[in-house]
Structure 1
C-alpha cells in the first residue's frame, strides 16, 4: 500500500513515498476506505514544510475522499461501495467546541496519520457521506475549506439574505464562502492582488472586487461599496497584517471570522474600534462532523461544485505544495492516485 510521508525536521525535500504499510481490517465500529483524492490546505503545507512539528514518517494530508471497501461490526451508517469524505476533527462529532478540538493532536496529517494513503481504516465517525453525484476529487475539498466557510458564515455568523460578505483572497475557503454567500442571497466582495483572479470571482457571482495592491487601504473601498455600512461578515485569512483593515471594513455588529494567519501570528489590533463597532471577532478551526453533514445536505440540494484549479498525482505531492506556495491558484489544488 502506497503512502506519502514526511521525515523530520520536515521540508518538501523530505517528502517520500513508502510502500511498507499494510491496510488493516476494520474492527468494531470501523470502516476501510480506498482513498482516491485529497485536497491541499495551507495547514498541510505547514506540516510538510516542518513549520508545524509532527512525528517522523507522518502520513500527510487532512482531507480524503473515496469508497468504502469494508465495514466492521456494528457499523450501520455506511455500506460497501458508499462514497465518503473525511472529517478534520474525527473526535468532534457535534455541539460546541470540545477541548481536544483546540489543537491538531487528532487531526489527520498532523497529530495523526493522514489521507495520503491508498487505503485507510478508521472509525466510521471519521467520515461522512460525500455529496451525491460529486467526484471524489470534488468531495475532497469539503473537509477543511468548505466546512470552514460553512461554519464561519452559516453556523457562527448566522448568515441571512441581504447580508454583505467580505472575503480575503481567492483560495479554497474564500471561493467556498463566495458560493455559500450567493446561495443565501448575500452580497459578496472579494479581494485579491490579481485582476485576473478578480475577474474569475466576478464570473462566479462576486458583486464587487477590490485589488488590495492598488488599494492598500481597502477598508475605504468596502465603505464606498456598502454606502458606509461596512461588511456584515468578514472571512479573515491574512491575520495580523490585514486584521486592522478588516475591523475598519466591518459593519457595526459585524462578524469577523479569523481563519488564517498568512501574515504572521502577532500584530496590533485596534481594540477601541473593535469595541465601538461591537464587532464579534472569532477565531475558528474548521468545524464538527454534524456541521459537515449539514453542509453536504446543502450542497446536494443546490447546483454547486467546488472550483478546482489544478490536480496532481499523489506522487507529485511536493510539486503540488510548491504550486500552492506560489499562490497562483484560484480555488483548490487536489491530488489523485
Structure 2
C-alpha cells in the first residue's frame, strides 16, 4: 500500500510517498481502506515542523473509509461498514485527562494519509449514511471541535446568539451547528466574497472587521444591545473586543489560536462580566458518536472546497496556506 511519511526535518518538501505492507488486524482491530482525508490547521503545523513529529510519522488526523477485515473480539463493526476515525487515540469517553489527550492522530501516533490503516476498533465510529466518505472525512477534527464548543461546553439554547470569528473549517461548522441548535449567528470575516457564502449558510449578520474596526459595538447592537451568549474564537491573541461583545454570564470557547499570539484580555472585564471560558481541544469518541447521530438525523452537509489526490498532499497544504479556500480541503483516492 502507499502512504505519506514525514522525513526530517519536517517540511512540505519532505512528505514522502512510500510503499509499505498492509498489516492484517489483530484482536480488537480493524483493517480499513481509507477513501478520503481532510486537512486541518493542526496537520499543517505538523508537516511544517512547527509541532514535533517522529521520522516516518504518517500525517493527517482525519480519515474515513470502509472496513476490509475485522480482528477477533470485534462486535461493533463488520466488513463493509463505513467508518470514520477519531482524533485522539485514547479518549473514548469522559472528561479530558492528560492520558486521554496525549496521543493526537498524525502527530504523536500515525494518521490517515495512507491507503489502508490497521487500528483498534474503538478508534472509529460509524459514518452517517447521509454522507459520502469524503464528507465524513471532514468531521473528526474541525466539526467535532465546533460541536463540543457549542453542544457540550456551551451548551447553546434555541434563541441565543453566537458570535463566530473567521471562516475556516471550525468556524463554518460552528455556524452550521449553531443554526441547527436554533441560534442566531453573527460571523466576523475580512472577505466580502466569503461573507456572501456565510450568509447563504445561514449567518444572520456578517461583519467585515477590516471595514468595521469597532466591531464589538456593532455585535452588541445586533444582539439586543446586551451582547452575544456564546463566542467561538479560533483566533486568540487580544480578546478585549471579544469580551466587550459578550453579555454577562456568556460563554467563550477558545480554540486553536490561529494568530499564534498569547491570549490577552482585561481581567476586570472578564470577572465583572462573569464570563465563562472553555479551552477546547477537539473531543472524545463519545462526543463524535453523538455528533454523527445528529448529523444523520438533520442531514447536515459539510462544506467542501478543492479535492487533491494523496501524492499531491504537499500541494494541498500549499493551497491551504493561500487562505483562498472556503470549506474543507479534501484528499480523495
The interval holding the TM-score normalised by the smaller chain is over 0.9
Aligned mates of 1:198, 1:224 — CA distance in 2? 19
Alignment partner, residue 222 of structure 2: 225
Contact 1:9 1:53 in 2 (8 A): no
1:284 aligns with 2:280: yes
Query: 1:65-84: per-residue Cα shift (whole Å, max 9, x none)?
Result: 00000001010000000000
Query: 1:115-152: per-residue Cα shift (whole Å, max 9, x none)?
Result: 00000000000000011131111000110011111100
Q: How do 1:209-224 residues align onto structure 2 when only pairs under 5 Å count?
A: 209-224=206-221
Alignment partner, residue 86 of structure 2: 87
Gaps of 5+ in 1: none
Alignment partner, residue 14 of structure 1: 14
Alignment partner, residue 247 of structure 1: 243
Give the TM-score, by structure 1 length.
0.97
Aligned mates of 2:294, 2:284 — CA distance in 1? 16
Aligned mates of 2:153, 2:91 — CA distance in 1? 16
Alignment partner, residue 37 of structure 2: 38
Contact 2:130 2:299 in 1 (8 A): no
Aligned mates of 1:107, 1:267 — CA distance in 2? 23
Q: Of the candidates 307, 310, 314, which is equivalent to residue 310 of structure 2?
A: 314
1:188 aligns with 2:185: yes
Alignment partner, residue 197 of structure 2: 200
Alignment partner, residue 110 of structure 1: 107
- Structure 2 SS opposite 1:132: coil
- Structure 2 SS opposite 1:333: strand
Give the TM-score, by structure 2 length.
0.98
Query: 1:145-190: per-residue Cα shift (whole Å, max 9, x none)?
Result: 1111110000110111001011111111111111111111100011
Alignment partner, residue 2 of structure 1: 2
Q: How do 1:251-270 residues align onto structure 2 when only pairs under 5 Å count?
A: 251-270=247-266
- Structure 1 SS opposite 2:73: coil
Q: How far is the alpha carbon of 1:297 from its aligned partner? A: 0.5
Alignment partner, residue 160 of structure 2: 163
Aligned mates of 1:285, 1:118 — CA distance in 2? 27
Mean CA deviation greater in 111-120 or 267-276: 267-276
Q: How far is the alpha carbon of 1:268 from its aligned partner? A: 2.5
